[in-house]
Amino acid sequence: MSGVQEEENDNEIMTSSPVTHIISTHQVGKTFKLYKKRVDRLKETFLPWVNNLHRPFQALTDVSFEVVRGETIGIIGRNGSGKSTLLQIICGIMQPSKGTIAVDGRISALLELGAGFNPEYSGRDNVYFNGSILGLSKEEITAKLPEIEAFADIGPFIDQPVKTYSSGMYVRLAFSVAINVEPDILIVDEALSVGDALFQSKCFAKFREFQEQGVTILFVTHSMDLVTRYCQKALMLNDGKAVAYGNAKEVVDIYNRTIVRCENSNGPTDSVSSEDAKEQIENLTGSTQQNDSEGVAFLRNEDENRYGNGQAEIIDVGIQSLNSVSQHTIVHGQRYRFWIKVRFQQDCQQPVYAYTIKDVKGFDISGTNTHYQEIDTGEVKAGQVVEVHFDQDMMLNSGSYLMSFGCAGFVDGTYTVFDRRYDLVTFEVVSDKQSVGMFDLGSHITVNLLDE
Amino acid sequence: MKYYPLSFLTTILERRKLVYSMARREVSSKYVGSAFGIVWAVAQPLVMISVFWFIFSIGFRVSPRNDVPFVVWLAAGMAPWFAFADIMNLATSAVISNGNLIKKTFFPSEILPVIRAVSGLFSHLIFVTIVLCLIGLMQMEISFYFFQSLYYLCCLFFLALGLSWTFASLTVFLRDIRHMVAIVMQVGFWATPIFWDINMMSGTVQKILKLNPVYYIIQGYRESFIYFTPFWHHPVYTLYFWGVTSLLFLGGMFVFARLKPQFPDVL
């Protein structure tokens, strides 16, 4: 296994020894056939002269990648990019329409919450059932049951029908079974996000343990932070194509870059064409310093809540990195600029510009405005455009945040909102440092041994 | 793309414990939550036999045939039919009711109809027990030929399984199959010589009626429990039955294997 370590950071592992590659896919493609009627599918299957009743839908195209035993791979991509289809193919649930896939080891998959659970039966019965689907004997499951119960930590609920479980209990039990069947490959599809923070941290501790034991982990997530923190490698899918595979941090950067590109070129649409993505990667491999103007990654929220009298209009916003650790990912501790462009429809004295950051639960975390900070914003004439910069160190801990911007002012002595755009953008902070809570006070810690 | 029907059989053998435990689940889930549980499993066939016996014996005054009490003759014929109809009706939903397993776990879906067939055997066991009780009650002769019913049970299983694979997989794409099967089973009960004697009919009609492979099993059950005739006494009919059953069995495997890869796309 000594050679494996050296190869790990190499994106282009071309050797195909079955010992090192626990999963290898070669140009895997999946075309779904869409039919108007189910009967048409039957006709096409059994009548050799009928073959034109379907409309093809290309879910995956030429996906080739190899996974070395013991690696943890994050699979990222937007909704509909083919992540789940790929996992289903790796698990053997679906057959690829093209290409080959080789998997060498026992797979334990957590593809959906409570798949393979019968809601009428008790947790314990379902553990046996799940175990027997995975090919374990009754005795083997009985032997593992205490461990499964301990990890799931659902107490006496183990003997209650699972239909009475909360979704958190569901995922705890399901995950507990999945990890306790001694898999060679563990596949987790977003399910973990249901658990609470404590359980999640327990799961990730288990991931670490698995990594040490040489268990391969594939997991799908939308949290770039989890990918950079736990995965050695990441695979990015876009429109069913594997657009990037390699070092996790680099792939996350590409991912964020494509999102920015999408924001800048296509406006607030929800699709990145894979041509765009390809171009991004070519740019990246050419020179990392290009396209500085693109700024860092954030998503524009389509369901923003906007109000105001329209006297001024926030026409554009953005986030920009002020030092060059990563151009496209918001990294904890680095310096960033939030900027807004405001076009005024009427003359205005001393307008107020503001931003607020909330967490995903809607709790206000931080915010400020030019009025609080007593900044002279001067006089603006109708038709003029003002650009405002808010520069600060990103002291938020890793996680997803929502950002609102506003522009207001005093009209005839009354505070009037010109344009307020709530939850206009979401962004994600990644961190390579463990910490508690949402905010980092930047504590400087000294430890002194006192011996008197 | 290649399919190896034989791999079906090896999968069933390899996963026989899973088949058994899932079949047990299915049986118990039928009675889970009901206070009397197993009582219903006995009550249902008992009531069915009583109703038919009452209608034909008391109502239509059907006389005992060749000194055989009508109720025993009737029950021995009803036993395999109801097992067969039960399995058929259960099988149509075998795949569609387990969509979650097929889509989200690596699960050999070909065992699902097998599970339904095995779980159907439970009520059959009760039915056969009732037949044996009736035989005891009527103080009829007891014989080793009783064990010949196991051979016919085998016949029933293979016939039902082949059709189950076909119906279970077709239903995924054509939900109407479920209702069609239910109606065919209804009609089949009246069109198969179960509560009426095949000898009532002319020779030609008898020949046509015997084309129904289920009748081979019904006749076999009666021969095992009442008439004590070995199955090799009608070799042609036996050959015919196994010919048809093999075709249906292989055909079922073929259809299922052909459609199986498309299950996750549709469910």
Helix/strand/coil (H/E/C) assignment for every residue in chain A: CHHHHHHCCCCCCCCCCCCCEEEEEEEEEEEEEEECCHHHHHHHHHCCCCCCCEEEEEEEEEEEEEEECCCEEEEECCCCCCHHHHHHHHHCCCCCCEEEEEECCCEEEECCCCCCCCCCCEHHHHHHHHHHHCCCCHHHHHHHHHHHHHHHCCHHHHHCEHHHCCHHHHHHHHHHHHHCCCCCEEEEECHHHHCCHHHHHHHHHHHHHHHHHCCEEEEECCCHHHHHHHCCEEEEEECCEEEEEEEHHHHHHHHHHHHHHHHHHHCCCCCCCHHHHHHHHHHHHHCCCCCHHHCCCCEECCCCEEECCCCEEEEEEEEEECCCCCCCCEECCCEEEEEEEEEECCCEECCEEEEEEEECCCCEEEEEECCCCCCCCCEECCCCEEEEEEEEECCECCEEEEEEEEEEEEECCEEEEEEEEEEEEEEEEECCCCCCCCECCCCCCCCCCCCC
Segment among A69-83, A86-100, A313-327 with least mean pLDDT: A313-327
Q: State residue A373's pLDDT score.
A: 87
Distance between CA atoms of residues A65 and A246, nearest Å: 10
Q: pLDDT-derived band of residue A323, with 50, 70 and 90 as boundaries? A: confident
Indicate yes or no: CB of A42 within 8 angstroms of CB of B170. yes
Beta-carbon separation of A93 and B264 below 8 A: yes
Return the percentage of chain A with pLDDT > 90, whole number. 6
Q: Is B226 on the interface with A (CB under 8 A)?
A: no
User: Which of A33, A91, A128 has the CB atom closest to B106's CB atom?
Assistant: A91
CATH number of A2-238: 3.40.50.300
Q: What does the pLDDT read at residue B245? A: 94
Q: What is the mean pLDDT of residues A1-16?
A: 38
| Domain spans, chain A | 2-238, 250-292, 299-430
If one compares A114 and A420, the residue with the highest pLDDT of the two is: A420
Q: Give B141 or A256, the one with higher predicted confidence.
A: B141
What does chain B come to in residues? Answer: 267
Identify the segments of chain B with pLDDT beneath 70.
1-5, 32-35, 61-66
Q: Reply yes or no on whether the pLDDT at A385 is more than 70.
A: yes
Kindly give the pairing relationship between strand A414-430 and strand A305-307: antiparallel
Predicted pLDDT of residue A343? 92
Flag whether pLDDT at A262 surpasses 80. no
- Can A2-238 and A299-430 be said to share one CATH topology? no
DSSP class of residue B260 equals G
Residue of A133, A164, A186, A190 to mutate for B, most B C-beta atoms under 10 A: A133
Using an 8 Å Cβ cutoff, are A94 and B264 in contact?
yes
Question: What is the reported pLDDT for A283?
Answer: 44
Give the range among A157-161, A285-289, B258-262 with minimum mean pLDDT: A285-289
The one-character DSSP state at B103 is H
Q: What is the DSSP string of B104-118?
A: HS---TTHHHHHHHH
* Residue A195 to residues A167, A168, A261, A436, Cα–Cα distance (Å): 8, 5, 33, 17
Which residues of chain B make contact with A135, given a CB cutoff of 8 A? 15
State whether the Cα torsion A78-A81-A83-A84 is positive or negative.
positive
User: Which among A198-202, A219-223, A333-337 has the top mean pLDDT?
Assistant: A333-337
Is the CATH number 3.40.120.10 carried by domain A299-430?
no
User: Which CA distances in Å does A415 have to A350, A412, A421, B124, B198?
Assistant: 11, 8, 17, 82, 97
Taking the CA of residue B235 as centre, how many other CA atoms within 13 Å lie in the half-sphere pointing to its CB?
Answer: 0
Is B106 in contact with A92 (Cβ distance < 8 A)?
yes
Helix axis angle for B213-222 and B203-210, nearest 10°, is 100
Percent of chain A past pLDDT 70, that is, above it, reads 84
The two three-digit tokens of residue A61, written as one number: 């195209």
| In chain B, where the domains are located | 5-266
Rounded Cα–Cα distance for residues B16 and B22 (Å): 10
In chain B, residues with a C-beta closer than 8 Å to the C-beta of A38 are 173-175, 266
pLDDT-derived band of residue A439, with 50, 70 and 90 as boundaries? confident
More confident residue, A19 or A234: A234
Tell me the residue ranges of DSSP E strands in B72-128. Answer: none
pLDDT of residue A113: 66
Min distance A69 CA to chain B CA atoms (Å): 21
The pLDDT of residue B1 is 38
d(CA B14, CA B27): 22
* Contact state of A132 with B17 under an 8 Å Cβ cutoff: yes
In the predicted model, is pLDDT for residue A83 greater than 50?
Answer: yes
Coil, strand, or helix at residue B242? helix
Q: How far is B212 from chain A (nearest CA, A)?
A: 26
Cross-chain Cβ contact A93/B105 below 8 Å: yes
CB of B21 within 8 Å of a chain A CB? The answer is: yes
Closest CA to B194 of B35, B92, B53, B96: B53
Cβ atoms A33, A41 nearer than 8 A? yes
Work out the number of other CB atoms within 10 angstroms of the CB of residue B44. Answer: 14
Candidate from A271-280, A301-310, B4-13 with smallest mean pLDDT: A271-280
Q: Which residues of B touch A46 (CB under 8 A)?
A: 255, 258
Residue A209 — φ and ψ, nearest 5°?
A: -60, -45
pLDDT greater at residue A45 or residue B212: B212
Given CB atoms, is B60 within the 8 Å cutoff of chain A? Answer: no
Count of A–B CB contacts within 8 Å? 81
Q: Measured between alpha carbons, how far is A273 from A259 in angstroms, rounded to an integer?
A: 10
Reported as a pLDDT band with limits 50, 70 and 90, residue A148 is confident
Which of B173, B256, B263 would you mutate first to test chain A, the one with the most A CBs within 10 A? B173
Q: Which two three-digit tokens encode residue A335?
A: 């310096």
Any B CB within 8 A of A187 CB: no
Q: Which residues pair with A366 in a beta bridge?
A: A357
| Chain A touched by B230 (CB under 8 Å) | no
CA distance linking residue B109 with residue A116, whole number of Å: 13
pLDDT in tens, A206-249: 888 888 888 888 888 887 777 887 888 888 888 888 888 888 88
Confidence of residue A272 (pLDDT cuts 50, 70, 90): very low
Confidence bin at A56 (pLDDT 50/70/90) = confident
